[in-house]
Amino acid sequence: MACVIPHAGWYFSGQLAFRTLARLRRDVDTVVVVGGHLPAQNCLLVAPEEGYETPLGILAADLELKKALESCLELIADYDRDNTVEVQLPMVAFLFPEAKVLWLRAPQSSLAAEAGRLLRKVTLELGKKTVVLGSTDLTHYGPSYGYSPRGTGKTALSWVKEENDRGIIEAFLGMKEKEVLKRGIEQRASCSPGAAVTALAYAASCGISRGTLVGYANSADIHPSDSFVGYAGVVYEEGHS
Protein backbone atom coordinates (compact mmCIF):
# COMPACT_ATOMS: atom_id res chain seq x y z
CA MET A 1 0.00 0.00 0.00
CA ALA A 2 2.91 2.36 0.66
CA CYS A 3 6.68 2.48 1.03
CA VAL A 4 9.70 4.54 1.99
CA ILE A 5 12.37 4.53 -0.71
CA PRO A 6 15.74 6.24 -1.30
CA HIS A 7 16.25 8.80 -4.05
CA ALA A 8 20.01 9.17 -4.56
CA GLY A 9 21.53 8.42 -7.94
CA TRP A 10 20.70 4.95 -9.19
CA TYR A 11 24.35 3.91 -8.88
CA PHE A 12 24.02 4.13 -5.11
CA SER A 13 20.40 3.43 -4.23
CA GLY A 14 18.57 2.50 -7.42
CA GLN A 15 18.62 -1.25 -6.84
CA LEU A 16 17.18 -0.92 -3.34
CA ALA A 17 14.55 1.56 -4.49
CA PHE A 18 13.46 -0.77 -7.31
CA ARG A 19 13.32 -3.82 -5.05
CA THR A 20 11.11 -1.88 -2.64
CA LEU A 21 8.79 -0.53 -5.34
CA ALA A 22 8.43 -4.03 -6.76
CA ARG A 23 6.86 -5.17 -3.48
CA LEU A 24 3.86 -2.85 -3.91
CA ARG A 25 0.55 -3.96 -5.37
CA ARG A 26 0.44 -3.35 -9.13
CA ASP A 27 -3.30 -3.25 -9.80
CA VAL A 28 -3.60 0.45 -9.00
CA ASP A 29 -5.10 3.49 -10.64
CA THR A 30 -2.68 6.01 -9.16
CA VAL A 31 0.85 6.15 -7.79
CA VAL A 32 1.45 9.11 -5.48
CA VAL A 33 5.13 10.00 -5.30
CA VAL A 34 5.90 12.20 -2.29
CA GLY A 35 9.24 13.97 -2.18
CA GLY A 36 10.70 16.42 0.26
CA HIS A 37 13.70 18.70 0.76
CA LEU A 38 11.30 21.17 2.40
CA PRO A 39 11.63 22.93 5.78
CA ALA A 40 8.95 22.60 8.45
CA GLN A 41 7.36 25.98 7.69
CA ASN A 42 6.68 25.09 4.06
CA CYS A 43 3.29 24.27 2.58
CA LEU A 44 2.61 21.08 0.68
CA LEU A 45 3.65 21.31 -2.96
CA VAL A 46 1.99 19.68 -5.97
CA ALA A 47 3.17 19.58 -9.58
CA PRO A 48 0.69 21.43 -11.82
CA GLU A 49 1.57 19.68 -15.09
CA GLU A 50 -0.71 17.27 -16.94
CA GLY A 51 2.08 14.72 -17.26
CA TYR A 52 5.69 13.89 -16.42
CA GLU A 53 8.23 13.00 -19.09
CA THR A 54 10.44 9.94 -18.54
CA PRO A 55 12.75 7.91 -20.83
CA LEU A 56 9.92 5.35 -20.98
CA GLY A 57 7.28 7.82 -22.07
CA ILE A 58 5.01 10.37 -20.46
CA LEU A 59 3.25 9.52 -17.20
CA ALA A 60 -0.21 11.09 -17.05
CA ALA A 61 -0.89 13.13 -13.93
CA ASP A 62 -3.99 12.28 -11.89
CA LEU A 63 -5.63 15.69 -12.07
CA GLU A 64 -8.85 14.36 -10.57
CA LEU A 65 -7.03 13.30 -7.41
CA LYS A 66 -5.12 16.61 -7.38
CA LYS A 67 -8.41 18.56 -7.51
CA ALA A 68 -9.98 16.45 -4.76
CA LEU A 69 -6.95 16.90 -2.52
CA GLU A 70 -6.92 20.65 -3.14
CA SER A 71 -10.51 20.85 -1.95
CA CYS A 72 -9.50 19.84 1.58
CA LEU A 73 -5.84 20.86 1.84
CA GLU A 74 -3.81 23.89 0.80
CA LEU A 75 -1.45 22.95 -2.01
CA ILE A 76 1.07 25.24 -3.69
CA ALA A 77 2.22 24.66 -7.28
CA ASP A 78 5.67 23.06 -7.42
CA TYR A 79 7.69 24.56 -10.29
CA ASP A 80 11.07 23.32 -9.06
CA ARG A 81 12.95 20.32 -10.34
CA ASP A 82 13.69 17.99 -7.43
CA ASN A 83 15.41 14.61 -7.42
CA THR A 84 13.30 13.26 -4.56
CA VAL A 85 10.45 12.74 -7.03
CA GLU A 86 12.18 12.77 -10.41
CA VAL A 87 14.50 9.82 -9.80
CA GLN A 88 11.52 7.57 -8.99
CA LEU A 89 9.46 8.32 -12.11
CA PRO A 90 11.21 6.03 -14.65
CA MET A 91 10.89 3.10 -12.23
CA VAL A 92 7.23 3.95 -11.67
CA ALA A 93 6.72 4.05 -15.44
CA PHE A 94 8.28 0.59 -15.77
CA LEU A 95 6.42 -1.06 -12.89
CA PHE A 96 3.07 0.76 -13.22
CA PRO A 97 2.70 1.47 -16.97
CA GLU A 98 -1.10 1.89 -16.81
CA ALA A 99 -1.28 4.04 -13.67
CA LYS A 100 -1.54 7.79 -13.37
CA VAL A 101 0.83 9.67 -11.09
CA LEU A 102 0.57 12.53 -8.62
CA TRP A 103 3.72 14.49 -7.70
CA LEU A 104 3.72 15.92 -4.17
CA ARG A 105 6.38 17.26 -1.81
CA ALA A 106 5.79 17.35 1.93
CA PRO A 107 7.46 19.52 4.59
CA GLN A 108 9.00 18.08 7.76
CA SER A 109 5.98 18.92 9.94
CA SER A 110 2.67 17.46 11.09
CA LEU A 111 1.22 18.64 7.77
CA ALA A 112 2.90 15.63 6.19
CA ALA A 113 0.84 13.22 8.30
CA GLU A 114 -2.34 15.17 7.59
CA ALA A 115 -1.62 14.83 3.89
CA GLY A 116 -1.28 11.05 4.22
CA ARG A 117 -4.58 10.70 6.02
CA LEU A 118 -6.40 12.98 3.59
CA LEU A 119 -4.94 11.08 0.64
CA ARG A 120 -6.54 7.92 2.00
CA LYS A 121 -9.86 9.74 2.53
CA VAL A 122 -10.11 11.22 -0.95
CA THR A 123 -8.91 8.10 -2.76
CA LEU A 124 -11.61 6.10 -1.01
CA GLU A 125 -14.21 8.70 -1.96
CA LEU A 126 -13.06 8.60 -5.59
CA GLY A 127 -12.84 4.80 -5.60
CA LYS A 128 -9.21 4.87 -6.70
CA LYS A 129 -6.77 2.09 -5.92
CA THR A 130 -3.65 3.95 -4.86
CA VAL A 131 -0.14 3.40 -3.53
CA VAL A 132 1.99 6.08 -1.90
CA LEU A 133 5.78 6.37 -2.13
CA GLY A 134 7.68 8.43 0.45
CA SER A 135 11.09 9.37 -0.98
CA THR A 136 13.95 10.05 1.43
CA ASP A 137 17.58 9.21 2.03
CA LEU A 138 18.97 8.82 5.54
CA THR A 139 21.94 10.39 7.34
CA HIS A 140 24.13 12.65 5.19
CA TYR A 141 27.41 12.45 7.06
CA GLY A 142 30.83 14.04 6.65
CA PRO A 143 32.52 17.26 5.56
CA SER A 144 30.60 17.40 2.27
CA TYR A 145 27.40 17.79 4.29
CA GLY A 146 28.73 19.80 7.23
CA TYR A 147 27.76 17.09 9.72
CA SER A 148 30.46 15.09 11.54
CA PRO A 149 29.44 14.61 15.21
CA ARG A 150 31.47 11.39 15.49
CA GLY A 151 34.57 12.45 13.63
CA THR A 152 35.69 10.36 10.67
CA GLY A 153 36.62 6.79 9.79
CA LYS A 154 35.17 3.51 11.01
CA THR A 155 33.78 5.00 14.23
CA ALA A 156 31.73 7.54 12.30
CA LEU A 157 30.45 5.00 9.80
CA SER A 158 29.50 2.57 12.56
CA TRP A 159 27.59 5.30 14.43
CA VAL A 160 25.62 6.24 11.33
CA LYS A 161 24.75 2.64 10.47
CA GLU A 162 24.14 1.24 13.95
CA GLU A 163 22.65 4.24 15.74
CA ASN A 164 21.50 7.19 13.66
CA ASP A 165 20.13 5.35 10.64
CA ARG A 166 18.96 2.38 12.67
CA GLY A 167 17.00 4.66 14.99
CA ILE A 168 14.98 6.29 12.24
CA ILE A 169 14.47 2.97 10.45
CA GLU A 170 12.91 1.59 13.64
CA ALA A 171 10.65 4.64 13.67
CA PHE A 172 9.67 3.92 10.04
CA LEU A 173 8.91 0.30 10.92
CA GLY A 174 6.91 1.26 14.02
CA MET A 175 5.12 3.98 12.03
CA LYS A 176 5.96 6.61 14.64
CA GLU A 177 5.22 9.88 12.87
CA LYS A 178 6.53 12.25 15.54
CA GLU A 179 9.71 10.28 16.10
CA VAL A 180 10.48 10.22 12.38
CA LEU A 181 10.18 14.00 12.25
CA LYS A 182 12.17 14.47 15.46
CA ARG A 183 15.04 12.25 14.35
CA GLY A 184 14.99 13.70 10.87
CA ILE A 185 15.26 17.26 12.12
CA GLU A 186 17.29 17.03 15.33
CA GLN A 187 19.66 14.20 14.37
CA ARG A 188 19.69 14.82 10.64
CA ALA A 189 18.78 11.17 10.11
CA SER A 190 16.61 11.90 7.06
CA CYS A 191 16.79 14.57 4.36
CA SER A 192 13.03 14.38 3.67
CA PRO A 193 11.27 13.00 6.77
CA GLY A 194 7.99 14.61 5.74
CA ALA A 195 7.83 12.40 2.66
CA ALA A 196 8.24 9.27 4.78
CA VAL A 197 5.59 10.47 7.25
CA THR A 198 3.05 11.02 4.46
CA ALA A 199 3.57 7.45 3.25
CA LEU A 200 3.34 5.84 6.70
CA ALA A 201 0.31 7.97 7.68
CA TYR A 202 -1.42 6.80 4.52
CA ALA A 203 -0.54 3.21 5.40
CA ALA A 204 -1.81 3.65 8.95
CA SER A 205 -5.11 4.91 7.53
CA CYS A 206 -5.28 1.64 5.57
CA GLY A 207 -5.17 -0.31 8.85
CA ILE A 208 -1.49 -1.23 8.68
CA SER A 209 0.41 -0.95 11.95
CA ARG A 210 3.96 -2.04 11.09
CA GLY A 211 6.37 -1.81 8.20
CA THR A 212 8.77 -4.38 6.77
CA LEU A 213 12.42 -3.60 6.06
CA VAL A 214 13.35 -4.54 2.49
CA GLY A 215 16.96 -3.53 2.86
CA TYR A 216 19.56 -1.04 4.06
CA ALA A 217 22.66 0.27 2.28
CA ASN A 218 25.23 3.00 2.61
CA SER A 219 27.13 4.81 -0.13
CA ALA A 220 30.40 4.02 1.69
CA ASP A 221 29.82 0.33 0.94
CA ILE A 222 30.55 0.94 -2.75
CA HIS A 223 32.38 4.26 -2.63
CA PRO A 224 34.50 4.58 0.56
CA SER A 225 34.75 8.20 1.66
CA ASP A 226 34.67 10.44 4.71
CA SER A 227 31.33 11.72 3.36
CA PHE A 228 28.54 9.19 2.87
CA VAL A 229 24.76 8.69 2.88
CA GLY A 230 22.51 5.92 4.19
CA TYR A 231 19.52 4.41 2.37
CA ALA A 232 16.61 2.21 3.44
CA GLY A 233 13.64 0.57 1.75
CA VAL A 234 10.52 -0.06 3.86
CA VAL A 235 7.15 -1.38 2.72
CA TYR A 236 3.75 -1.17 4.39
CA GLU A 237 1.79 -4.23 3.31
CA GLU A 238 -1.80 -5.30 3.79
CA GLY A 239 -2.12 -7.91 6.51
CA HIS A 240 0.51 -6.27 8.73
CA SER A 241 -1.88 -5.00 11.38
Phi/psi for 136 (5° steps) reads -155, 145
Residue 238: its pLDDT value, please? Answer: 83
- Number of domains present in the structure of the chain: 1
* Residues 157-187 pLDDT 10s: 999 999 999 999 999 999 999 999 999 999 9
Amino acid letter, residue 8: A
Give this prediction's pTM: 0.96
Query: Is there a domain that residue 241 lies in?
Result: no
Query: Is there a domain that residue 232 lies in?
Result: yes
* Residues 24-54 pLDDT 10s: 999 999 999 999 999 999 999 999 999 999 9
Question: Domain of 135?
Answer: 2-236
Query: Is there a domain that residue 167 lies in?
Result: yes
Query: Is there a domain that residue 64 lies in?
Result: yes
Tell me the pLDDT band of 240, cut-offs 50, 70 and 90: low
CATH of the domain at 215: 3.40.830.10
Residue 239: its pLDDT value, please? Answer: 73
